[in-house]
Amino acid sequence: MSGKTTVFNALTGAGAKVEISGGFKVTANMASIPVPDDRLDYLAGLYKPKSVVPAKVNMVDVAGLVTEGKRELDERYISYLKNTDALAVVLKYFTAGIEDGLHPEEDFRRIVEEFILSDLSVVENRLKKLKKGRDTKETDFLLRCKECLEGEKPLNSISFSLEETNFVRGFAFLSAKPVFVILNIDESSDRDKVEAVLRGFRDAGIEAVSMYGKLEMDIMEVEEKERKEYLEEFGIGELGKDKVLRAAYNTLNLISFFTAGEKEVRAWEVKRGATAVEAAGRIHTDMERGFIKAKVVSFSDLKVCGSMGEAKKRGLVRMEGRDYIVKDGDIVEIFFNV
């Protein structure tokens, strides 16, 4: 009970029921958040397209991990977590209704411990099933995981080969997923302490943001144009939603690129370091298969020029091949033939 569903509602406006589930529960709430982006708004103003499609981040809210004596997490429960690319750990830092003090670092450690124990039982079960004495790649991989987990370290602390990464994906190990922290605070939280807690996580290499879960959930209920007033009244600078999206992008190592035309202006999220042909595949498999070249202009160049025509005139629109590394903010047109 750290306010996960509350935070989920604040992020998505989904209005999921906030209740103390009293431990283990296998239902999940799901919703997606459109990623706000000024650049997308600018492009929409330029092209006046029929539709504007932002990038989206899908969120899943599950009940707290309380396995107490039941070392194996429920299969259905696991299946919700299995398909995620990253885990956001919501830590309690609101003071209302708290008698036993706040200990976010300890709470975090305990959650990671649950991930580790869950993974360890998967590893041990699988090892038991594999024929004894037969030296396979999978056995080697599992033994490597076992050693890491028995040392109480999450699997995201070791680096895997490409082949091992496929095993990791297959087993959907929880402790192998990238993790970031959402510190759920309220009006009475000491801001200096909040900053110190966040710094502690960041120093340990974990992305961490704070947000006013309950307040922001309530703000989602009011009309969009009235929200700004409330935010100012409560002294909330940046919306938790925007901070969380940025943390998710950083944790997942994502960037956005754009496609723009009269019909549609759209933002696409893609892994940092993706090539032009991989970005094309993000749009459509046909574009990846039949990739010829990509016409690319950076957002900042386009904005300075004020139009695609002017950008062309100044030689800022480039033709790039399949191995070009797509940059955050690139506006891309794919030429393909299938």
Give contact residues for Mg ion (rule: CB under 5 A). 4-5
Q: Is 19 a residue that touches ligand GTP (CB under 6 A)?
A: yes
Question: Cβ(2)–Cβ(184) under 8 Å?
Answer: yes
Q: In angstroms, what CA-CA distances link 155 with 84, 178, 305?
A: 16, 10, 47
Q: Nearest distance from residue 9's CB to Mg ion, in Å?
A: 10
Q: Nearest distance from residue 281's CB to ligand GTP, in Å?
A: 36
Tokens of 302: 């386009």
Q: Nearest distance from residue 91's CB to ligand GTP, in Å?
A: 10
Q: Nearest distance from residue 21's CB to Mg ion, in Å?
A: 6
Q: Is 13 a residue that touches ligand GTP (CB under 6 A)?
A: no
* Residue-wise burial string across 135-160, b where 16 or more C-beta atoms lie within 10 A, e elsewhere: eeebbebbebbbebbeeeebbbeeeb
Q: Is 241 a residue that touches ligand GTP (CB under 6 A)?
A: no
Q: Tell me the helix, strand and coil percentages in the chain, rounded to 5.
A: 45, 20, 35
Question: Cβ(196)–Cβ(223) under 8 Å?
Answer: no
- Please say which residue, 90 or 148, places its beta carbon nearer to Mg ion: 90
- Please say which residue, 88 or 317, places its beta carbon nearer to ligand GTP: 88
Binding segment toward ligand GTP, per CB under 6 A, in 19-27, 36-44, 133-141, 166-174? 19-27
Judged by CB under 6 A, the number of residues near ligand GTP is 18
Instruction: Single out the residue of 3, 154, 240, 281 in contact with ligand GTP (rule: CB under 6 A).
Output: 3
Q: Nearest distance from residue 26's CB to Mg ion, in Å?
A: 12
Question: Cβ(319)–Cβ(294) under 8 Å?
Answer: yes
CA 154, 157, 163 angle in degrees (round to 5)?
100
Sign of the Cα torsion 165, 166, 168, 172 reads positive
- Please say which residue, 179 or 276, places its beta carbon nearer to ligand GTP: 179
SS3 92: strand
Q: Which of 338, 254, 259 is nearest to 296 (CA)?
A: 259
CA distance 123 to 111: 19
- Please say which residue, 36 or 64, places its beta carbon nearer to ligand GTP: 64
Q: Nearest distance from residue 94's CB to ligand GTP, in Å?
A: 3
* Per-residue mark of binding to ligand GTP, 47-86 (x: CB under 6 A): ----------------xx----------------------
CA distance 88 to 180: 5
Binding site for ligand GTP (CB under 6 A): 1-6, 18-21, 63-64, 94, 96, 184, 186, 213-214
